[in-house]
Amino acid sequence: MNYDVIVVGSGFSGSILARKIAEECNKKVLVVEKRTHIAGNMYDRFDDHGILIQEYGPHYLNTNKYYIINFLEKYATMFKHTAKLLSFIDGNYVRLPFNFETVQQLLGSENSEQILEKLRSSFSGRDRVPILELVEHEDNDIRNYGNLLFEKAYKTYTAKQWGLSVDKIDKYVLNRVPMAMNYDERYLNKDFQYLPVQGFTKMFENMLNHENIVVKTNLNALDYITFDENKKEIFYDGNLVSSLIFTGPIDELFGLKYGPLPYRSLDIKYDYYESDSALPGEIVSYPQAIGYTRSTEYRKIMYDCSNVKGTVVATEYPMQYNPKNEIGNIPYYPVNTVESNILYEKYLKEVSKYKNLFLCGRLAEFKYYNMDVCIEHALDYFENIKEYLETHA
Ligand SMILES: Cc1cc2nc3c(=O)[nH]c(=O)nc-3n(C[C@H](O)[C@H](O)[C@H](O)COP(=O)(O)OP(=O)(O)OC[C@H]3O[C@@H](n4cnc5c(N)ncnc54)[C@H](O)[C@@H]3O)c2cc1C
C-alpha cells in the first residue's frame, strides 16, 4: 500500500482534490470509483450516431467567476455556449426562465401592460426574482401572476422532480426557480457560460492524468474502509492513511446506521430521429406532462456536429432512489427537507469522530451544489486538506 491519500469518487469534487493533492502536495493518491467510468455525474460519451450524450442528464457550466473557467482550461479547450430553454405550457412553447415575453405569451399582449409595469417598478434593479417571491407579493396582480406560474408550471414540475409537495421542500431548493425581470432569454444569467469542446469525460481524464494518481474504477470503496473508534482513525484496505476524502453518499459510508437519507433518481429514455432536429430548443421542460420533466436534444449542445447523422432526444423520468433497484439506483439529487437535514446532522457527528476523514461534494455534504459552486468549494477545501497534510505528514 503506497498511497498517502484515498479519494472516494471521481466526480468534480474527487477529481479536483486528487489532482491538487498529487500536484501541489506531491502525495500519492488513489482514486476509487464505484462506477465503471470516471467523471461522476458529468460523464459523457459519443453514442452510436456520433452524438455526445451526457449519461446523467444535461449539464451547463455557468459562473460569474472567471478563475473557474481558467482552472478548467488547464484540462480542456472550452467553448462558449449560452443555454436557451423552452417550457411547453398549455400547448405552447414559452421561454424558460419565464420572462416578460412569457407574460405576454400567457396573458396575451393586450392584457400585459399593467402587470409588466408593476413588475418593473416592484423589482427595479433586480435581474431575476424567485417565483415564490411573486406568489407571496403584497400586490394582487403580481401575486395572481405568480400563482398562475406556480399552478401551471412550478408546482407540478417540482412535485414530479422531487416526489414531494412543494411545502415539504427546502426553501433553498425552491428559490432556485426564478423569473427574469426583463426579456433575457438566457436560461442562466451568469457571465461565463462554457462547455468543453471534447466533452467532460475527456477533461476529467486529463485532470486525473498525473504521475502521483492511480485511478481504480468498478470498485466500491466501502468494501475496503474500516473505522477504529478508539483511535479516531479510518483505514483503507487495513492500512492507516493520512487522509481519506469521501465524495459519495454519507449515509452509505456509515452503513445507513441512522436510516437512509432521501435522494432523487432519474430514468433517462432515448429516442433517435433520422432528421437533424427534433425539438424546437436544446432543452424543453414539460411541467404539465405526466411522468417526465424535460427532454434534451444533445446534438444542439455539441461543439461540432458536422459528422453526426440524425439526432437523439433524452427524456428524464424522475423517480425515487433505491440502490437495490435496476433503474433508479443512482443518487442524482439530495432531497433537502427539514427531516432529512436533521438526519444528515446525525451522520455529520459521526464524521467528526475521525480525524483523517474528510467529506466533500454534493452527496457527501448532502447539498444541492451546482458545478461552479462544487468546483469552487473543492478548490477552497483543498486549502484545508493541504494544511492538514502538511501538519500530519
Ligand atoms: C441531472 C443533473 C443535472 C445537473 N445540471 C447541472 C447544470 O446544468 N449546471 C450545474 O452547474 N450543475 C448541474 N448539476 C450538478 C452537478 O452534477 C454537480 O454539482 C456535480 O456533478 C457534483 O460533483 P460531485 O463530485 O460532488 O458528485 P458526483 O459527480 O456524484 O461524484 C461522486 C462520485 O462518487 C462515486 N461513489 C459514490 N460512492 C462510492 C463508493 N462507495 N465507492 C467508490 N465510489 C463511490 C460515485 O459513483 C460518483 O462517481 C446537475 C446535476 C444533475 C444530477
- Residue-range domains of the chain with CATH: 5-55+197-260+334-391 (3.40.50.720), 85-180 (no CATH)
What does the pLDDT look like over 60-106, one tens digit per residue?
999 999 999 999 999 999 999 999 999 999 999 999 999 999 999 99
Asked whether the beta carbons of 5 and 243 are under 8 A apart, the reply is yes
CB atoms within 10 A of CB 313: 17
- Per-residue pLDDT at 353: 94
Position 1 confidence tier, pLDDT thresholds 50, 70, 90: low
CA proximity to 168, closest of 340, 366, 337, 367: 337
Which of the pair, 337 or 55, is modelled with greater confidence? 55
Please tell me the predicted confidence (pLDDT) of residue 3: 94
Closest residue by CA, ligand 1 atom 15 = 370
Atom of ligand 1 nearest to the CA of 15: 25
Which grid coordinates belong to 140? 394582487
Ligand 1: residues with CB < 6 A are 8-14, 32-35, 40-42, 56-57, 59-60, 220-222, 247-248, 332-333, 361-363, 369-372, 374
CA-372 nearest atom, ligand 1: 11
User: Is pLDDT of 275 > 90?
Assistant: yes
Q: How confident is the model at residue 176 (pLDDT cuts 50, 70, 90)?
A: confident
137: helix, strand or coil: coil
Overall residue count recorded for the chain in this entry:
393
- Collapsing DSSP to helix, strand or coil, 269 comes out as strand
Alpha-carbon distances, residue 33 vs 8, 63, 275 (angstroms): 6, 27, 38
Backbone dihedral angles phi then psi of residue 124, each to the nearest 5 degrees: -60, 135
Could you give the CA distance from residue 251 to residue 138 in angstroms, rounded to a whole number? 42
**Cell 439530495 belongs to which residue?**
334
- Angle between the 200-208 and 12-24 helix axes, to the nearest 10 degrees? 30
- Residue 162 has a CB neighbour count (10 Å cut-off) of 21
